[in-house]
Amino acid sequence: MDSLTHIVLGAAVGELMAGKKLGKRSWLAGAFFQTVPDFDFIAGIWCTPAEDLLAHRGFTHSFLFIILMAPLFSWGIMRTKWGSRTSVKSWLFLATVEMLIHLFLDGFNAYGTAWFEPFTHHRISFNVLFVADPFFTIPLLLGVGWIIFFSRIKTMRIKISLAISVYCLLYIGYGINNKLIVQSEVKRTLAESSIKPRRVLITPTPFNTWLWYIIVERKDDFLTGYRSVFDTTSTIQLTSTPKQHKWLEGMVPREDIAHLVRFSNGYYAMQKWQDTLVLNDLRFGKMMGWEDPDRRYVFYYFVNQPDNNQFLIQRGRVQGWSLQAAQKFAQRIFHAN
């Protein structure tokens, strides 16, 4: 999830777990511990764009990292002026729980989270929540804001923190339910069309859990489309994207391409934009693809121009957004197809 979500949820969990002993300091401690796994952004200073893709949500998002670092942070905080307000065991418990929550939440995004590094490079992606979902984050932000600025009674702060935690679990459950609805429709569509896929990936579109992006892998191509839980028609429009993996076969092996292929978990397709060879990671969708299925993919890497690939994911996500685009996006979600 985005940093703001981790900070406010970390503060709420900190109040719930340590508010009685630490008071307001529990907010800062909780927010800090839940942000620790994202310290991997520092690696981006030295990494190439392709290397940074694997460094982010890599080892710092693993269970081994928590096992190693939670005791270290607990020992370090005990040496501060206010660290002695509770025991080292309490600090260890708080640090461990907060970082585990971070890993748990990130596992629900499409990016992938390396829970089991360095023993395996496999990344966990449940594809239930978009990395930034205002319907998930804003209630958390309002609840923590109330705790910080208006609630002076400890019991009330604990109740609000508990409500925040319950809301998070309910929202995740709601997202899972919506995905199952769409998954059922996709299975029916594929069966009716006699399509036998190798794999199917279903993940939410930006900022919501109502409109879902679909990838169907076949031998030589990928079929992509969109489905809202509010759609009433049975038709799911699927557009073909040839894999064209053969365009990489004649190239000299390159580390950056190997990183991208591994990062994509196989959901990549090659295209040529005039004279430029482009590698697309299909998991992140198309730029306004719900409006025009022939749009370019959000994630694209210039194979012939490796130094021209800064902000790999972000550059495609922000292209094309405007007030009018947001209105069309809302119409696609809520107006039955």
pLDDT of residue 329: 95
Question: Residue 185: inside a domain, yes or no?
Answer: no
Both 259 and 111 in one domain: the answer is no
> For residue 124, which of 61, 168, 65, 74 has the smallest C-alpha distance?
61
pLDDT in tens, 326-336: 999 999 999 75
Question: Residue 188: inside a domain, yes or no?
Answer: no
Q: Which residues contact 64 (CB under 8 A, 6 or more apart)?
A: 117, 118, 119
Q: Is residue 314 within 8 Å of residue 53, measured between CB atoms?
A: no
Both 276 and 156 in one domain: the answer is no
Both 119 and 41 in one domain: the answer is yes
Among 174, 208, 230, where does a domain finish?
Answer: 174
Q: Which residue type does 25 have?
A: R
pLDDT in tens, 184-204: 999 999 999 999 999 999 999
The percent of residues in the chain predicted with pLDDT above 90, rounded, is 78
Both 149 and 255 in one domain: the answer is no
Q: Tell me the average pLDDT across 263-272.
A: 96
pLDDT of residue 85: 72
pLDDT in tens, 282-324: 999 999 999 999 999 999 999 988 878 877 666 777 777 889 9
Number of domains in the chain: 2
Both 104 and 225 in one domain: the answer is no
Among 119, 144, 174, where does a domain finish?
Answer: 174
Both 26 and 169 in one domain: the answer is yes
Q: Tell me the average pLDDT across 83-95.
A: 87
Question: Between 45 and 226, where is the model more confident?
Answer: 226
Q: Is residue 164 within 8 Å of residue 140, measured between CB atoms?
A: yes
pLDDT of residue 81: 74
pLDDT of residue 46: 86
pLDDT of residue 313: 67
pLDDT of residue 45: 82
Both 153 and 218 in one domain: the answer is no
Residue 337 has pLDDT above 70, yes or no: no
Both 123 and 215 in one domain: the answer is no
Question: Residue 181: inside a domain, yes or no?
Answer: no
Confidence of residue 250 (pLDDT cuts 50, 70, 90): confident
pLDDT in tens, 124-166: 999 999 999 999 999 999 999 999 998 878 889 999 999 999 9
158: containing domain: 3-174
Question: Residue 182: inside a domain, yes or no?
Answer: no
Question: Residue 180: inside a domain, yes or no?
Answer: no
pLDDT in tens, 90-129: 999 999 999 999 999 999 999 999 999 999 999 999 999 9
Distance CA 288, CA 18 (A): 44
Both 140 and 26 in one domain: the answer is yes
Question: Residue 161: inside a domain, yes or no?
Answer: yes
Q: What pTM does this model have? A: 0.94
- The per-residue pLDDT of the chain, averaged, comes to 93
Question: Residue 186: inside a domain, yes or no?
Answer: no
Rounding to the nearest 10 degrees, give the CA dihedral for residues 307, 313, 319, 321: -160
Both 122 and 248 in one domain: the answer is no
> For residue 100, which of 47, 147, 179, 37 has the smallest C-alpha distance?
37
Rounding to the nearest 10 degrees, give the CA dihedral for residues 134, 298, 308, 51: 70
Both 108 and 233 in one domain: the answer is no
pLDDT of residue 171: 98
Distance CA 266, CA 308 (A): 23
Among 174, 206, 222, where does a domain finish?
Answer: 174
Both 272 and 310 in one domain: the answer is yes
